[in-house]
Amino acid sequence: MTHVVLFHHAQGLTAGVRAFAARLEAAGHRVSLPDLYEGKTFDSLEAGIENASRIGFSTIVERGREAAENIEDDVVYAGFSLGAMPAQMLAQSMPDAQGALLFHACITPSDLGSSWPVGVPVQVHGAEDDELFVEEGDLDAARELVETVDTAELFLYPGDGHLFTDSSLPEYDADATALVEERVLAFLASIP
């Protein structure tokens, strides 16, 4: 059993994020779901991004760090889109990090102030035609990560839905999400 700390995306801790976590738990893993928005959710990605901008991205990352402070297990840090930011930062900086799962986003490790830690595996999942993932530099960051880190994997899925793994949103893609989950469960099973 692996402990996964899973951070939500810009629309908040939605029913779809909770459902994804529940499927990981049903497979025998422990999942913690920090709420970076203190209970707020948003009907659109734009409104969620506006909220994140108002809060401040550094505050969101700090809330992620605070949520991880009380976790004593070795963990895999995971995040959807906006949540990939604290997940990646923690995977790069916490000595208990056993891996990272980055959905719909990736940051160049040096932009977070350090290189990727040796021996910490990471998977990045994104839609191949997602404008946010492709045009905002996340795909380039993921490709650089794969080129420079032996334990990094990048998986691209057909389509252009940014949050295609969230079953509560219109862009949900059940087939792509099933493949994401299959790969994620294999990844988690490989964690000692």
pLDDT digits (tens, 9 = 90+) for 137-185: 999 999 999 999 999 999 999 999 999 999 999 999 999 999 999 999 9
Strand arrangement of the beta sheet that strand 97-103 belongs to: 30-32, 3-7, 75-80, 97-103, 122-127, 152-157
- The predicted-structure confidence for 81-138, as pLDDT tens digits, reads as follows 999 999 999 999 998 899 999 999 999 999 988 899 999 999 999 999 999 999 999 9
pLDDT at 74 over 90: no
Maximum distance among all Cα pairs of the chain, rounded to whole angstroms:
39
Q: List, in sequence order, every residue forming a beta bridge with 97; answer none if it has no partner.
A: 75
Confidence label for 72 from pLDDT (cuts 50, 70 and 90):
confident
Report CA-CA distances (Å) from 146 to 17, 45, 155. Answer: 26, 28, 11
Question: Regarding the domain delimited by 3-189, which CATH topology (the fold level of the hierarchy) does it fall under?
Answer: Rossmann fold (3.40.50)
CA distance linking residue 23 with residue 19, whole number of Å: 6
Domain spans, the chain = 3-189
**Nearest CA among 113, 126, 112, 119 for reference residue 171:** 126
Q: Are 6 and 21 in contact (CB under 8 A)?
A: yes
Residue 126: predicted pLDDT: 98
Q: Are 99 and 76 in contact (CB under 8 A)?
A: yes
